[in-house]
């Protein structure tokens, strides 16, 4: 009989029950007992990190060589990811404790602060800086779920990294041992477009330039660092349509840094998608998107109480 693999979540909630997998050395992880697994299972293969096995299912990651970590489910699968690989922290160190405290604060803080928060945990030399934000064209349920999943999943997909940056469809999250607040990161983390195209390139680009320029200026001075709007667009055949757009920055940026980030991303839109009817460029500090035809539905999350959950360190 093939070994069975039962999965445990890093985000620990009171309803979780004891679980075990396969056969092997017993240990504990986040308070839950487990046993090891058979690494000869053909559905599991090693990554470049000898301590990590990955399943053929991309939603799962298996950790083997650490006796305190056997198996876990990655519930956050970002579109873009950066994990530092030098100067890693160790298990049960002050940095890890501070990081887990920070991740808890980021998830709950963004939920109560209308989709954004930045926070600091600990003191030098173990201080951790972190930030998370919801992208405003995703609904609040997707935003809230992304915040929970990102905060609970990043320590599995970036194990022991002192710096991490990730963005998904609904949110962005990052942390570092060095402060990055108030300085725009111009990295293009993820871009996307439609497979439909316009025929009147000049008219489309003029309309897009006018719309996005206006939104950049509005977002930079907005309290939420967010602006959306529309411009009329008429194609070569005389058909009247509407182009919708969104510009958004993380709220730690001042007006000039927000403008710098958005203007760079708008340039990238023009370079990447000169004729597409839809285009989006996401980064760790800002986001721009335009769309012809269908309206962009913008969500400004309400201020709400955060639901309780915790990340826990194993003993």
pLDDT in tens, 4-43: 332 323 332 222 222 222 222 222 222 222 223 333 444 4
- Cα dihedral 240, 192, 131, 303 in deg (nearest 10): 40
- Residue 143 to residue 148: CA distance in whole angstroms: 9
255-282 pLDDT, tens digit each: 999 999 999 999 999 999 999 999 999 9
164-187 pLDDT, tens digit each: 999 999 999 999 999 999 999 999
> Taking 80 as the threshold, does the pLDDT of residue 143 lie above it?
yes
Is 188-292 a CATH 3.90.1560.10 domain?
Answer: no
Q: What is the mean pLDDT of residues 295-302?
A: 80
Is 80-181 a CATH 3.30.430.20 domain?
Answer: yes
Model confidence at 302, pLDDT cuts 50, 70, 90, reads low
Predicted local distance difference test score (pLDDT) of residue 57: 43
Q: What is the mean pLDDT of residues 44-62?
A: 42
* Domain residue extents for the chain: 1-74, 80-181, 188-292
Model confidence at 75, pLDDT cuts 50, 70, 90, reads low
190-231 pLDDT, tens digit each: 999 999 999 889 999 999 999 999 999 999 999 999 999 999
Model confidence at 303, pLDDT cuts 50, 70, 90, reads low
Predicted local distance difference test score (pLDDT) of residue 32: 25
Predicted local distance difference test score (pLDDT) of residue 41: 42
CB 220 within 8 A of CB 258: yes
- Residue 148 to residue 307: CA distance in whole angstroms: 10
Do 80-181 and 188-292 come out as alike in CATH topology?
yes
Predicted local distance difference test score (pLDDT) of residue 15: 24
Model confidence at 238, pLDDT cuts 50, 70, 90, reads confident
Predicted local distance difference test score (pLDDT) of residue 235: 82
Predicted local distance difference test score (pLDDT) of residue 239: 85
Predicted local distance difference test score (pLDDT) of residue 153: 87
Predicted local distance difference test score (pLDDT) of residue 272: 96
Predicted local distance difference test score (pLDDT) of residue 304: 53
Locate the DSSP E strands across the chain: 11-12, 27-29, 32-34, 44-46, 52-55, 60-63, 71-73, 80-83, 116-121, 128-134, 164-167, 171-176, 188-193, 226-234, 240-249, 278-283, 286-292, 310-311
224-233 pLDDT, tens digit each: 999 999 999 9
Predicted local distance difference test score (pLDDT) of residue 259: 99
Q: 119 phi and psi, to 5 degrees?
A: -155, 165
- Residue 126 to residue 60: CA distance in whole angstroms: 30
């Amino acid at each position: 009989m093939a070994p069975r693999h039962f999965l445990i979540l890093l985000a620990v909630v009171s309803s979780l029950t004891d679980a075990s997998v396969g056969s092997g050395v017993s240990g504990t992880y986040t308070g839950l007992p487990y046993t090891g697994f058979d690494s000869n299972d053909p559905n599991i293969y090693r990554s470049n990190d000898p301590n990590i096995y990955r399943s053929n299912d991309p939603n799962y990651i298996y950790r083997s060589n650490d006796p305190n970590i056997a198996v876990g489910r990655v519930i956050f699968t970002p579109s873009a990811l950066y994990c530092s690989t030098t100067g890693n922290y160790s298990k049960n160190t002050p940095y890890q404790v501070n990081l887990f405290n920070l991740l808890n604060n980021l998830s709950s803080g963004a939920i109560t602060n209308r989709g954004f928060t930045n926070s600091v945990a600990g003191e030098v030399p173990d201080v951790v800086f972190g930030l998370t934000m919801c992208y405003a064209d995703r609904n609040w349920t997707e935003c809230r779920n992304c915040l929970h999943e990102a905060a609970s999943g990043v320590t599995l997909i970036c194990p022991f990294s002192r710096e991490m940056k990730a963005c998904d469809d609904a949110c962005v999250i990052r942390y570092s041992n060095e402060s990055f607040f108030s300085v725009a990161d111009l990295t293009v983390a993820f871009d996307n477009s439609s497979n439909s195209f316009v025929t009147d390139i000049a008219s489309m680009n003029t309309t897009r330039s006018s719309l996005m320029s206006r939104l950049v200026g509005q977002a930079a001075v907005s309290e939420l660092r967010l602006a959306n709007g529309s411009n009329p667009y008429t194609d070569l055949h005389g058909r009247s349509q509407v182009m919708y757009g969104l510009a958004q920055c993380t709220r730690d940026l001042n007006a000039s840094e927000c403008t710098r980030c958005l203007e760079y991303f708008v340039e990238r839109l023009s370079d990447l998608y000169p004729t597409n009817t839809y285009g989006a460029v996401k980064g760790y500090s800002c986001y721009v998107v335009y769309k012809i035809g269908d309206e962009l539905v913008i969500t400004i999350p309400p201020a709400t109480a955060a639901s309780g959950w915790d990340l826990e360190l194993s003993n």
